[in-house]
Amino acid sequence: MASGRDRATAVVLGIIVPLAGLVVLEIASRSGWVNPTFLPPPTTILATFWGIIASGGFAAPLAQTLLLLFTGYGIGCVAAIALGILMGSSGPVFNLFEPLTELLRPLPKPALLPALILFLGLGARMEITIVALGCFFPVLINTIQGVRAVEPTMINTARTFGHGTMAIWRRILLPASAPYILAGMRISLGLGLILVVTAEMIAGSGGLGDSILSAQRTFLVKESYAWLVVLALLGLLLTWLFTVVERRLAFWNAPPIQ
């Protein structure tokens, strides 16, 4: 089939640019165009990266980052979905919280770190809190949108068959708004990763962010870049995983073309 060949072509095309970039960096570093102390050749970085992987040294920082990320992400998403459902379905609740959320939503969340450190210190509680705060808003906005966008005909259909309020929530409103909620959760996952790494750099108490910054501060530049590779791969993996989950949970949203 042509589509298989098209996909293969797309993959090859997609690899060309990053590969060319790596080759340029390799030449630039080895020829001395850029200071190899600041930017070691990519092959050296890859060897160091491989060392971190093979020794199992990646496990502890990665596990810590993932634990903080998913705890904060989970808290933020659950709170946002709960409030979003209330705000999306009730005018008074929406009017009650809308000014506050509109004030806090555009605020760059790292700006809250100094205040959070005052209250929560430099540990996991602060890191989880900033991740939860960052993940909260995109999910909140999308949940409100999703609940409001539910087709009234679907709700009326359930009513005419005699389904009660709880059943309508469980069987109509939640699944119908799921594609919106998941889209918000996708944005939040990316934001959560940014925030957990930022917080770890500031807290300096472990995790991938701390590994990147500590290595750079102690002139382990190769290691710093190698941790960056770990982080990039983590981002890629999380995006891919989320796509798989999204396709399973909201499969009807992109029906196959007949």
Report which residue type is found at 256.
P
252 binds another protein (CB under 8 A): yes
Q: What angle, 0 to 180 degrees and rounded to 10, lies between the N-to-C axes of helices 221-249 and 59-89? A: 40
Closest separation in Å from C-beta 185 to another protein: 17
- Count of residues of this chain found to bind another protein when the rule CB under 8 A is applied: 22
Tokens of 106: 């555009």
Q: Could you give the residue ranges of the DSSP H alpha helices within the chain? A: 2-31, 42-55, 59-89, 91-104, 113-120, 124-148, 152-160, 165-168, 174-203, 208-217, 221-249
- If one asks whether residue 162 binds another protein (CB under 8 A), the answer comes out as yes
Q: At what angle do helices 59-89 and 208-217 cross, to 10 degrees?
A: 130
Is 218 among the residues that bind another protein (CB under 8 A)? no
| Segment contacting another protein by CB under 8 A, of 27-35, 124-132, 164-172, 217-225 | 164-172
Establish if 159 lies at the interface with another protein (CB under 8 A). yes
**Residue 154 within binding range of another protein, rule CB under 8 A:** yes
Among 11, 38, 91, 153, binds another protein (CB under 8 A): 153
Region from 35-43, 107-115, 190-198, 246-254 binding another protein, contact rule CB under 8 A: 246-254
- Is residue 29 within 8 A of residue 43, CB to CB? The reply is no
State which residue, 119 or 161, has the beta carbon closest to another protein.
Answer: 161
* 3: contact with another protein by CB under 8 A: no
Cα three-residue angle 113-204-211, rounded to 5 degrees: 120
Compute the distance between CA of residue 251 and CA of residue 229 in angstroms, rounded to an integer: 32
Amino acid at residue number 94: F
State which of residues 9, 43, 157, 165 lies at the interface with another protein (CB under 8 A): 157
* By the rule CB under 8 A, 156 interacts with another protein: yes
* Site residues, another protein (CB under 8 A): 151, 153-154, 156-163, 167, 171-172, 175-176, 178, 250-252, 255, 258
